[in-house]
Structure 1
Amino acid sequence: MFPVSITDERGVMLREFTADDVDAVLAVYGDPKVTEHLSFEPRTRDQVKATLDSVTAAARVEPRTEYSLAVVHGGEVIGVARLAVDTQHPGQSSGQLGFALRASHWGRGLGAATVRLLLRLGFDELGLYRLWGARSPENVVSARLMTALGMVEEGRIRGHIRVRGRWRDSVVHSILADEWQADQQR
């Protein structure tokens, strides 16, 4: 599926990245406050450019398994959204999602809108059965957001990733297609 462009009723949009998005993504991935709970340390402009080069190339691979998308609101890129389709178990129809927004846009419901759009993309557009996300155990805002959207906390992966010189656990949340559909009918 290329190109992706999906918008909600508030005007939050997910779209493909362009080469012009480097500085907007740097405002997300280069910010220590934003990356505090992510699986990597703040990135440089060169690292962000390399990331965008990689994800724009991956967007055209068939079959597409990587959906790294710009989060746009008010005409500007305010974040990054990602849905990665599981390729280790073909036919299992699951995907991992994640997102990050500029700190100046936190607390406005834009994170929830972004995750809803990722759920729409995964379930309604791609026909996946299970979507999941992992968070830092200390990221209580993310825990509340995923729970509010119907995602169930499944458990903790101990020593999951190494970041900032130490091993960190991750907490996994998931939602199934039938749970998503039932929620959409309410």
Structure 2
Amino acid sequence: MYPVTFSSPRLTLREFVPTDVDGLLAIYGDPRVTEHMSFEPRNREQVEGAIAGVVESARNEPRTDYSLAAVLPDGGELVAYARLSIDLGHPLQNSAQIGFALRSDRWRQGLGAEVVRLLLRLGFEQLDVHRIWGARSPVNEASGRVMSKLGMVEEGVIRGHLKLASGWRDSVVHSILAPEWEQTR
């Protein structure tokens, strides 16, 4: 599915374009945003490379990675990075992982929940996925609240999941199944 454009009244998910570097740098270059992520703040060159990679992978067939820019409808200001990645492995698995990063000046405005809601709609309503899951840092309670608010159930902890500069970090997993999503709509 290319190109993706998926909207709600408050946000639009769209494909990244090369001119999104400054918008994504405001997210990925901010230590407050990357504090709970699997990488340190990124510089302009790293963000340029990330955008080039997602622009290229968006045209893969079959497409398994949906890395999308979340923009405001009035002017297209980029406020979040949104990702839905189809889990590869057993062909009957039919699941996907989501991830999101919201610009820090947009925290506490409900936009994180809106990003996740759009990703869930994309996965369940357009890609016919059965299970969608997300992982978060154990201390990132805001992400936990966002996922719980949208019906994602906390499943448990993956111990020693990510190797960071500071050492190994656990991840808390949340998930939702297609029938549960249908009930929340």
Give the TM-score range, shorter chain: over 0.9
- 2:29 maps to a residue whose letter is G
String of CA shifts for 1:44-99, please: whole Å, max 9, x gaps.
11111111111111000000000000010132011100000011222321000000
| SS class of match (1:26) | helix
**Residue of structure 2 equivalent to 1:59:** 58
| SS class of match (1:24) | helix
The answer on 1:36 being equivalent to 2:44 is no
String of CA shifts for 1:95-139, please: whole Å, max 9, x gaps.
000000110000000000000000000000000000000000000
Structure 2 unaligned regions, length at least 5: none
Output the CA distance in 2 between the equivalents of 1:145 and 1:88.
28
Output the CA distance in 1 between the equivalents of 2:150 and 2:84.
16
- 2:166 maps to a residue whose letter is G
Structural mapping, 1:91-170, within 5 Å: 91-170=92-171
Runs (4+) off by over 6 Å: none
Output the CA distance in 1 between the equivalents of 2:109 and 2:165.
29
| SS class of match (2:97) | strand
**Residue of structure 2 equivalent to 1:19:** 18
Output the CA distance in 2 between the equivalents of 1:109 and 1:165.
31
- 1:93 maps to a residue whose letter is N
More displaced, 171-180 or 86-95? 86-95
TM-score (norm 2): 0.97
**Residue of structure 1 equivalent to 2:2:** 2
TM-score (norm 1): 0.96
More displaced, 110-119 or 138-147? 138-147
Output the CA distance in 2 between the equivalents of 1:164 and 1:78.
27
String of CA shifts for 1:28-49, please: whole Å, max 9, x gaps.
0010000001111111111111
**Residue of structure 1 equivalent to 2:179:** 178
| SS class of match (1:68) | strand
Output the CA distance in 1 between the equivalents of 2:24 and 2:164.
20
| SS class of match (2:81) | strand
